[in-house]
Structure 1
Amino acid sequence: MRLTVEQIIAYQTEGYLIVPEALSEADLRPVIGELEREIDERARRLFAEGKLKALYEEEPFERRYAFLYRECREIGKGFDIQHLLGEAMFRHLGSEKLLDVAECLLGSEISCNPIQHLRAKLPSAYAGDEPDYFQNVPWHQDCAVTTPDSEASEIITFWMPLVDATAETGCMEVMPGAFKRGYLDHRAEGGTMIDPAKLPEIVPVRAECPKGSLVIMNKYTPHRGIGNRSGIVRWSIDLRYHKTGANSGRSFQPSFPVRSARDPESVLRDAGEWRRLWREVSEAKGQKLHRV
């Protein structure tokens, strides 16, 4: 799938774009299956250790994790891309469908940015005493979690839900056009957030996004996440891409080419090498990840 001229103009004008039906159920199935297996393995281990009273095997992907987490939060320890390092997730980072879209905005020399996350936003009824910013993610810009030396780099966010992201399940809200103001001062209060005094007076737009669709954002686009009032977990994947050779904003973490017309052999296709790169990083502690 490639973006139309109208979609590209809309992205360049508003700083965000919702791309419908970018991925099929078959495209997402390997990643979801990998997550289901990981959840099941963790649940069985915790059950054997007496930390869970039930396995909740009858519950579907959209609900099982919530039941398990409510009973034992240990189920969620290290539940993120750079810790799980799954084969299916690695293949997803280099999905041809995602890269076809990214190429429309970045050109043919594309690297996967090291800022990448898997998020499970629990139904609020299951969240217990979690910090409020887990549910109501404050207004922020994605550039706030990059180092200032990447200011000239074009880094774009690809946010994709693994279930329908609606007002009820906890979708994002964005501020159209606000990216033109550049970086806004942030505070480290209740999660990294834009200084309220610097928050643009722009009416936000609700970025509801069905499963299989994408929300693409400029790194300066202010956005926030609203609470999950549904009965399911709002699973989502948050990826970033940038032009190969540009500063990634996380030079101490691995970025790697995922598409190259100039040098196809440079593309990283070995999941084992990807894991090795991340494991090397995990041994180097103390790096600051946010600007504030």
Structure 2
Amino acid sequence: MRLTMEQVIRYQTEGYLIVPDVFSEADLQPVIDELSAEIDARARKAYAEGKITELHEHEPFEKRFTLLCEQSREIGRGFDINGYLGEAMFRFMSGKGLLDLVECLLGTEITCNPIQHVRAKHPAKSAGEGNDYFQNVPWHQDCAVTSPDSDASEIITFWLPLVDATAETGCMEVMPYVFKQGYLNHRSEGGTTIVPELLPNVKQVLAECRKGGLVIMNKYTPHRGISNRSDIIRWSIDLRYHKTGAPSGRSHHPSFPVRSALDPGSELTDVTEWRRMWREVKEEKGKSLHRV
């Protein structure tokens, strides 16, 4: 699948684009199965250590993680792409179906940016105290979590849900056209957020996206996450790509080429090497990954 000219123009005009029906169930299932296996391993370890009393092993992917975290928040600690480093996720990030779309906006020399996440937004009624930020992620631009040396880099966000992302399950809201204003100053307020006085007075758009679809965003597009009012987890994957050779905005974290017409041999296809790159990262103590 490739973007149509109309879709490219809309993205370039509004700063975001929702593309439906990009991935099939078969495309997403290996990633879901891998996440489920990681959850199961964490649950069994916690059970063996006496930290939980119920495995909930017959509950579906959309509910089990919440039921486990309600017993022990420790189960969710460090649960992210660079935390468990799964092969299915690695293959998905460099898969043809996704990169064909990325190429429509970045060209043939593509690098996977090190800012990459899998997110489980629990139902609000189960989130617990102190989790308001994760339920209602404030207005921000993705460039706010990159270093200023990457300001000239075209880093594009590709966000996809593993369940339907709707107003009920806690989808995103975006501000179209605002990306043309560039970087808006942010501050730390329970999370990185645009200084309230700088928020543009524009109509916000509910970026609902069904499972299998994709939300593409410019790094300067303001967006936020709204509360999950459903009884299931809003699972999503947040990936970013940039042109090979451009600063990534996270120079101390590993980025890697995933597509190259000029030098196909440069593409990283070895999951063991990818894991080694991440495991060798020694992040400086106290080093901020955000601009504020």
Same fold (TM over 0.5): yes
Q: Which amino acid aligns with 2:261?
A: A
Where does residue 197 of structure 2 map in the other structure? 197
For the residues of structure 2 that align with 1:34 and 1:63, how far apart are their CA atoms? 16
Where does residue 2 of structure 1 map in the other structure? 2
The answer to whether the 8 A contact 2:145-2:289 is kept is: yes
Where does residue 133 of structure 2 map in the other structure? 133
SS at match of 1:28: helix
The answer as to 2:239 corresponding to 1:231 is no
For the residues of structure 2 that align with 1:155 and 1:183, how far apart are their CA atoms? 13
Q: How does 1:13-52 map to 2 (within 5 A)?
A: 13-52=13-52
Where does residue 215 of structure 1 map in the other structure? 215
Query: What does the per-residue CA deviation read over 1:2-50, in whole Å, with 9 as the maximum and x for residues that have no partner?
Result: 0000000000000000011111110101100001011111111111111
Where does residue 289 of structure 2 map in the other structure? 289
Where does residue 166 of structure 1 map in the other structure? 166
SS at match of 1:138: coil
SS at match of 2:138: strand
Distance 1:114 1:72, change over 3 A: same
Where does residue 182 of structure 2 map in the other structure? 182
Where does residue 117 of structure 2 map in the other structure? 117
Where does residue 254 of structure 2 map in the other structure? 254
The answer to whether the 8 A contact 2:252-2:283 is kept is: no
State the Cα distance separating 1:288 from its structure 2 match. 2.0
State the Cα distance separating 1:132 from its structure 2 match. 1.1
For the residues of structure 1 that align with 2:57 and 2:6, how far apart are their CA atoms? 45
Q: Which amino acid aligns with 2:136?
A: N
Q: Which amino acid aligns with 1:85?
A: L
The answer as to 2:206 corresponding to 1:206 is yes
State the Cα distance separating 1:286 from its structure 2 match. 3.7
For the residues of structure 1 that align with 2:211 and 2:268, how far apart are their CA atoms? 27
The answer as to 2:83 corresponding to 1:88 is no
For the residues of structure 1 that align with 2:262 and 2:286, how far apart are their CA atoms? 36
For the residues of structure 1 that align with 2:3 and 2:231, how far apart are their CA atoms? 34
% identical equivalent positions:
71
For the residues of structure 2 that align with 1:216 and 1:143, how far apart are their CA atoms? 14
Where does residue 101 of structure 2 map in the other structure? 101
Where does residue 147 of structure 1 map in the other structure? 147
State the Cα distance separating 1:242 from its structure 2 match. 0.1
For the residues of structure 2 that align with 1:285 and 1:88, how far apart are their CA atoms? 30
State the Cα distance separating 1:282 from its structure 2 match. 3.8
RMSD: 0.8
Query: What does the per-residue CA deviation read over 1:124-145, in whole Å, with 9 as the maximum and x for residues that have no partner?
Result: 1111103311100000000000
Q: Which amino acid aligns with 1:180?
A: K
Where does residue 272 of structure 1 map in the other structure? 272
Any stretches of 5+ residues in structure 1 without a counterpart? none
Q: State the aligned residue count.
A: 292
Query: What does the per-residue CA deviation read over 1:186-229, in whole Å, with 9 as the maximum and x for residues that have no partner?
Result: 01102100000100111100000000100000000000000000
State the Cα distance separating 1:77 from its structure 2 match. 1.0
Q: Which amino acid aligns with 2:151?
A: E
Where does residue 11 of structure 1 map in the other structure? 11
Q: Which amino acid aligns with 1:81?
A: I
Where does residue 61 of structure 1 map in the other structure? 61
Where does residue 78 of structure 2 map in the other structure? 78
For the residues of structure 1 that align with 2:127 and 2:53, how far apart are their CA atoms? 18
State the Cα distance separating 1:284 from its structure 2 match. 4.6
For the residues of structure 1 that align with 2:107 and 2:243, how far apart are their CA atoms? 8
